[in-house]
Chains A and B, each alone.
Chain A
Amino acid sequence: MSRALALVVSGALALAALAAWPLASAIAQDTLPPAPYAYTQLEDPALEAKANALMHTLRCLKCQSQSIADSDAPMAGDMRHQVRSRILAGDSPDEVRAWLIERYGDYVSYSPEVSQTTWPLFVVPVLLVLAALFVLLRRLGRGRSDKIVSESSLP
Chain B
Amino acid sequence: MSTAETRSGLRLWLWVPLALFAFFAGLAGYMLTQEKPEFVKSTMVGKPLPEFTLEPAFDGLPGASSSDFEGGKPRLLNIWASWCLPCIAEAPQLEALKEQGVEIIGIAIRDRPEDVARFLERHGNPYTRIGADAISAVQLELGSSGVPETFVIGADGTIRYQHIGDIRPEHIALLKAELEKAQ
Which of A's residues lie within 8 Å of B, judged by CB?
Answer: 28-32, 35-36, 61-62, 64, 74-75, 78-79, 81-82, 100-105, 107-108
Contact = CB atoms under 8 A, between A and B. Distances in A.
Given A61-B145, A78-B140, A104-B42, A31 B112 contact: yes
Contacts of A31: 83, 112, 115
Contacts of B112: 31-32
Majority secondary structure of chain B interface residues (helix, strand, loop or mixed)? loop
20 contacts: A29-B83, A31-B115, A32-B110, A32-B134, A35-B135, A35-B136, A36-B135, A61-B146, A62-B145, A78-B110, A78-B139, A79-B140, A100-B140, A102-B43, A102-B44, A103-B42, A103-B44, A103-B140, A104-B145, A105-B43
Contacts, number: 61
Majority secondary structure of chain A interface residues (helix, strand, loop or mixed)? helix
Contact of B110 (A36, A74, A82, A107): A74
Contacts of B40: 61, 64, 104-105, 107-108
A75 B142 CA distance: 14
Interface residues of B, number: 23
A30 B111 contact: yes
B14 to A, nearest CB: 11
B41 interface: yes
Interface of B: 40-44, 81, 83, 109-112, 115, 134-137, 139-143, 145-146
Nearest to A28: B83
B137 A82 contact: yes
Given A35-B135, A82-B140, A103-B142, 16 more contacts: A31-B83, A31-B115, A32-B134, A35-B134, A61-B145, A75-B136, A75-B145, A75-B146, A78-B135, A78-B137, A103-B43, A103-B141, A104-B143, A104-B145, A105-B43, A107-B40
Nearest to A34: B135
A104 to B, nearest CB: 5
Contacts of A32: 110-112, 134
A76 to B, nearest CB: 10
A126 B163 CA distance: 41
A107 B143 CA distance: 11
A30 B145 contact: no
